Protein backbone atom coordinates (compact mmCIF):
# COMPACT_ATOMS: atom_id res chain seq x y z
CA UNK A 1 0.00 0.00 0.00
CA UNK A 2 1.17 3.48 -0.82
CA UNK A 3 -0.37 6.32 1.16
CA UNK A 4 -0.54 10.02 0.44
CA UNK A 5 -2.16 12.24 3.05
CA UNK A 6 -3.07 15.90 2.88
CA UNK A 7 -5.20 18.01 5.18
CA UNK A 8 -8.32 17.28 3.14
CA UNK A 9 -8.04 13.66 2.12
CA UNK A 10 -6.03 10.47 2.02
CA UNK A 11 -5.16 8.62 -1.14
CA UNK A 12 -4.32 4.95 -0.73
CA UNK A 13 -2.94 2.99 -3.65
CA UNK A 14 -3.61 -0.72 -3.38
CA UNK A 15 -1.06 -2.72 -5.35
CA UNK A 16 -1.53 -6.42 -6.01
CA UNK A 17 -4.07 -8.40 -4.04
CA UNK A 18 -6.43 -6.77 -1.56
CA UNK A 19 -7.16 -9.80 0.58
CA UNK A 20 -7.83 -10.86 4.15
CA UNK A 21 -4.21 -10.41 5.23
CA UNK A 22 -3.93 -6.86 3.88
CA UNK A 23 -7.39 -6.01 5.24
CA UNK A 24 -6.02 -5.78 8.80
CA UNK A 25 -3.36 -3.25 7.73
CA UNK A 26 -5.94 -1.32 5.71
CA UNK A 27 -8.34 -1.18 8.65
CA UNK A 28 -5.61 0.01 11.04
CA UNK A 29 -4.45 2.65 8.55
CA UNK A 30 -7.94 4.00 7.95
CA UNK A 31 -8.71 4.07 11.69
CA UNK A 32 -5.48 6.03 12.32
CA UNK A 33 -6.27 8.50 9.54
CA UNK A 34 -9.85 8.99 10.76
CA UNK A 35 -8.57 9.68 14.29
CA UNK A 36 -6.42 12.43 12.76
CA UNK A 37 -9.54 13.94 11.18
CA UNK A 38 -9.41 12.47 7.68
CA UNK A 39 -12.92 11.87 6.35
CA UNK A 40 -12.35 11.68 2.59
CA UNK A 41 -10.59 8.69 1.09
CA UNK A 42 -9.55 7.95 -2.48
CA UNK A 43 -8.49 4.39 -3.15
CA UNK A 44 -6.42 4.03 -6.27
CA UNK A 45 -7.27 0.53 -7.47
CA UNK A 46 -5.60 0.83 -10.87
CA UNK A 47 -2.97 -1.73 -9.81
CA UNK A 48 -5.22 -3.86 -7.60
CA UNK A 49 -5.40 -7.33 -9.14
CA UNK A 50 -8.23 -8.70 -7.04
CA UNK A 51 -10.22 -8.01 -3.92
CA UNK A 52 -11.56 -10.75 -1.67
CA UNK A 53 -14.72 -10.61 0.39
CA UNK A 54 -12.91 -9.81 3.64
CA UNK A 55 -11.22 -6.73 2.19
CA UNK A 56 -14.50 -5.77 0.54
CA UNK A 57 -16.29 -6.07 3.87
CA UNK A 58 -13.72 -3.84 5.60
CA UNK A 59 -14.04 -1.35 2.74
CA UNK A 60 -17.85 -1.47 2.95
CA UNK A 61 -17.60 -0.86 6.69
CA UNK A 62 -15.60 2.30 5.97
CA UNK A 63 -18.22 3.40 3.45
CA UNK A 64 -20.96 2.88 6.04
CA UNK A 65 -19.08 4.77 8.76
CA UNK A 66 -18.45 7.74 6.50
CA UNK A 67 -22.11 7.84 5.49
CA UNK A 68 -23.22 7.84 9.10
CA UNK A 69 -24.61 4.32 8.72
CA UNK A 70 -27.16 5.42 6.13
CA UNK A 71 -25.25 4.32 3.05
CA UNK A 72 -25.68 7.86 1.68
CA UNK A 73 -22.58 9.28 0.03
CA UNK A 74 -23.71 12.92 0.40
CA UNK A 75 -21.37 13.92 3.25
CA UNK A 76 -18.05 12.20 3.59
CA UNK A 77 -16.81 10.00 0.84
CA UNK A 78 -14.87 7.00 -0.29
CA UNK A 79 -13.91 7.18 -3.94
CA UNK A 80 -12.65 4.16 -5.82
CA UNK A 81 -10.39 5.14 -8.67
CA UNK A 82 -10.12 2.83 -11.66
CA UNK A 83 -11.34 -0.48 -10.20
CA UNK A 84 -11.10 -3.42 -12.58
CA UNK A 85 -14.31 -4.74 -14.13
CA UNK A 86 -14.05 -7.77 -11.82
CA UNK A 87 -13.85 -5.61 -8.69
CA UNK A 88 -16.73 -3.43 -9.90
CA UNK A 89 -18.76 -6.57 -10.52
CA UNK A 90 -18.04 -7.80 -6.97
CA UNK A 91 -19.14 -4.44 -5.53
CA UNK A 92 -22.39 -4.70 -7.47
CA UNK A 93 -22.98 -8.39 -6.72
CA UNK A 94 -22.46 -7.89 -2.97
CA UNK A 95 -24.75 -4.86 -2.96
CA UNK A 96 -22.19 -2.33 -1.72
CA UNK A 97 -21.44 -0.27 -4.82
CA UNK A 98 -23.81 2.48 -3.59
CA UNK A 99 -21.39 3.23 -0.74
CA UNK A 100 -18.72 4.49 -3.12
CA UNK A 101 -18.13 6.90 -5.93
CA UNK A 102 -16.48 5.05 -8.82
CA UNK A 103 -14.04 7.10 -10.91
CA UNK A 104 -12.52 5.93 -14.17
CA UNK A 105 -9.76 7.75 -16.06
CA UNK A 106 -6.54 9.45 -15.08
CA UNK A 107 -5.91 10.33 -11.47
CA UNK A 108 -4.29 13.53 -10.27
CA UNK A 109 -4.79 14.45 -6.62
CA UNK A 110 -6.16 17.95 -6.10
CA UNK A 111 -3.88 18.65 -3.15
CA UNK A 112 -0.13 18.13 -2.97
CA UNK A 113 1.18 15.44 -0.71
CA UNK A 114 3.92 12.90 -0.41
CA UNK A 115 3.35 9.23 -1.15
CA UNK A 116 4.79 6.92 1.47
CA UNK A 117 4.90 3.15 1.32
CA UNK A 118 3.16 1.61 4.28
CA UNK A 119 4.96 -1.46 5.58
CA UNK A 120 2.81 -4.53 6.11
CA UNK A 121 2.34 -5.68 9.69
CA UNK A 122 2.26 -9.26 10.84
CA UNK A 123 -1.25 -9.64 12.27
CA UNK A 124 -1.96 -12.48 14.64
CA UNK A 125 -4.28 -15.30 13.67
CA UNK A 126 -6.84 -13.94 16.13
CA UNK A 127 -6.68 -10.46 14.49
CA UNK A 128 -7.12 -11.97 11.04
CA UNK A 129 -10.06 -14.09 12.17
CA UNK A 130 -11.75 -11.20 13.98
CA UNK A 131 -11.35 -8.97 10.91
CA UNK A 132 -12.74 -11.70 8.64
CA UNK A 133 -15.78 -12.21 10.87
CA UNK A 134 -16.51 -8.47 11.17
CA UNK A 135 -16.07 -7.92 7.42
CA UNK A 136 -18.47 -10.71 6.49
CA UNK A 137 -20.99 -9.62 9.12
CA UNK A 138 -20.89 -6.14 7.59
CA UNK A 139 -21.58 -7.54 4.12
CA UNK A 140 -24.47 -9.62 5.48
CA UNK A 141 -25.94 -6.59 7.27
CA UNK A 142 -25.79 -4.45 4.13
CA UNK A 143 -27.48 -6.93 1.83
CA UNK A 144 -29.73 -9.82 2.86
CA UNK A 145 -28.57 -11.80 -0.20
CA UNK A 146 -25.09 -11.90 1.33
CA UNK A 147 -26.33 -13.88 4.33
CA UNK A 148 -26.66 -16.99 2.17
CA UNK A 149 -23.17 -16.40 0.74
CA UNK A 150 -21.31 -15.83 4.00
CA UNK A 151 -23.35 -17.40 6.81
CA UNK A 152 -21.36 -20.64 6.79
CA UNK A 153 -17.95 -19.00 6.61
CA UNK A 154 -18.75 -16.62 9.50
CA UNK A 155 -20.13 -19.47 11.56
CA UNK A 156 -17.03 -21.58 10.85
CA UNK A 157 -14.70 -18.72 11.82
CA UNK A 158 -16.69 -17.95 15.00
CA UNK A 159 -16.56 -21.61 16.04
CA UNK A 160 -12.81 -21.58 15.50
CA UNK A 161 -12.49 -18.57 17.79
CA UNK A 162 -14.57 -20.30 20.49
CA UNK A 163 -12.42 -23.44 20.28
CA UNK A 164 -9.17 -21.49 20.52
CA UNK A 165 -10.20 -19.60 23.68
CA UNK A 166 -9.13 -21.28 26.90
CA UNK A 167 -12.06 -22.18 29.13
* Banded pLDDT at 124 (limits 50, 70, 90): confident
Question: Residue range 60-74: average pLDDT?
Answer: 74
What is the pLDDT at residue 118?
A: 58
pLDDT at 94: 94
Share of the chain above pLDDT 70, in %: 83
| Radius of gyration from C-alpha coordinates of the chain | 16
What digits encode the pLDDT tens for the residues 7-31? 778 999 999 999 999 999 999 999 9
* pLDDT in the model for residue 116: 54
61 vs 119, higher pLDDT = 61
Residue 72 has pLDDT above 60, yes or no: no
Is the CA virtual torsion 25, 47, 134, 157 positive or negative? negative
CB atoms within 10 A of CB 123: 19
Evaluate if residue 74 carries a pLDDT over 70.
no
Convert the pLDDT of each residue in 90-115 to its tens digit.
999 999 999 999 998 765 555 555 55
> Measured between alpha carbons, how far is residue 79 from residues 12, 54, 76, 131 in Å?
10, 19, 10, 22
Instruction: Please give the residue that has the higher pLDDT: either 116 or 160.
Output: 160
For residue 76, CA distances in Å to 13, 26, 71, 103, 121 come to: 19, 18, 11, 16, 28
Q: Which domains does the chain carry? A: 2-122 (3.30.750.24)
Q: How long a stretch of residues is the chain?
A: 167
* Residue 76 near residue 38, CB atoms below 8 Å: no
Q: What is the mean pLDDT of the chain?
A: 85
When pLDDT is averaged across residues 42-60 and rounded to a whole number, the result is 95
Q: How confident is the model over 69-80, as a mean pLDDT? A: 66
Q: What digits encode the pLDDT tens for the residues 125-139?
A: 888 899 999 999 999
- CB-based contact 114:107 (threshold 8 Å): no
Q: Is the pLDDT of residue 70 over 90?
A: no
Amino acid sequence: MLVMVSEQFACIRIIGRANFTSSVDFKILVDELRQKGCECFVLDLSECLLMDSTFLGVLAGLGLKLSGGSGDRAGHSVELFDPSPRITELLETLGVVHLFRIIQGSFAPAAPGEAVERAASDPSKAELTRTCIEAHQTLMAISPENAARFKDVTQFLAEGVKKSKPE
